[in-house]
Homo-oligomer: A and B are copies of this chain.
């Protein structure tokens, strides 16, 4: 039986802070901190409207080599590494899979995803495909994937190779335990040691945004309202007063 390293999960407070920020703000804030692209390009939101954040468990696929992996002799289910990443799942965890962008290998099907749901997993990011989507799509598990296929994961060119090791997913290096945040914009990796700072920097929001959004929607001038110009500040303050708010 393979010996799988476990991950260190970040404090819930960090997870919640990052989730509240969302993928767009997380990515932009990280960029200003020097992380040029924390966005995993390729996997897209297949469960529109869902958002999630959580620590990454990782599963790595490699090009199949028949002397290293023989699906036909794959009798002992405990040898199947894609099961082992699921064994690690605790409530709130995110499974991130480097399936090498393969569009002909379906990593998990209905039973595996049902187990993931039962364990309280937060969501799944695959640089590749799931299978059995007529059933998997009904489970309500948030998914960021490249697509779906009826093929199973070792049917063509891949083999599962390692669990909870650093992987490349969608062009980003993911370290087990990194915080993943995802919504309709896609999925973003937040390094644990930067999470606190990301939350802090992102909280410096503009208190006038609600006012500006309202004015812009009414056809107000971009130059006047976004960012809030000095000329519009009295108008904003009147608006605040009317709303019974304080600047």
Tell whether A87 is near chain B: CB-to-CB under 8 Å: yes
* Residues in B neighbouring A49, C-beta threshold 8 A: 134
For window 87-134 of A, CB contacts with B under 8 Å fall at 87, 100, 103-104, 106, 109-112, 114-115, 117-120, 131-134
* Residues in B neighbouring A155, C-beta threshold 8 A: 27-28, 31, 36-37
On whether the beta carbons of A62 and B166 are closer than 8 Å, the reply is: yes
Do most interface residues of chain A lie in helix, strand or loop, or is the interface mixed?
A: mixed
Given contacts A65-B172, A100-B168, A118-B218, 9 further A-B contacts (CB under 8 A): A24-B106, A27-B151, A35-B65, A37-B155, A62-B166, A63-B171, A64-B173, A118-B217, A133-B184
On whether the beta carbons of B222 and A87 are closer than 8 Å, the reply is: yes
Residue interface bits A172-195, CB-to-B below 8 A is 1, else 0:
110100000001111011010110
What are 22 residue pairs bridging A and B, where the CB atoms are less than 8 Å apart in the complex? A24-B106, A24-B131, A27-B150, A34-B67, A36-B156, A37-B104, A63-B172, A65-B191, A67-B193, A67-B194, A87-B222, A87-B223, A111-B209, A111-B212, A111-B216, A111-B226, A118-B215, A118-B217, A118-B218, A119-B219, A133-B185, A150-B186
Tell whether A233 is near chain B: CB-to-CB under 8 Å: no
Tell whether A149 is near chain B: CB-to-CB under 8 Å: yes
The number of chain A residues touching the other chain, given as a range, is 35 or more
* Residues in B neighbouring A131, C-beta threshold 8 A: 24, 185
* Residues in B neighbouring A212, C-beta threshold 8 A: 111
List the B residue with the shortest CB-CB distance to A155. Answer: B31
Residue interface bits A9-25, CB-to-B below 8 A is 1, else 0:
00000000000001111
Residue interface bits A141-176, CB-to-B below 8 A is 1, else 0:
000000111111001110101000010100111010
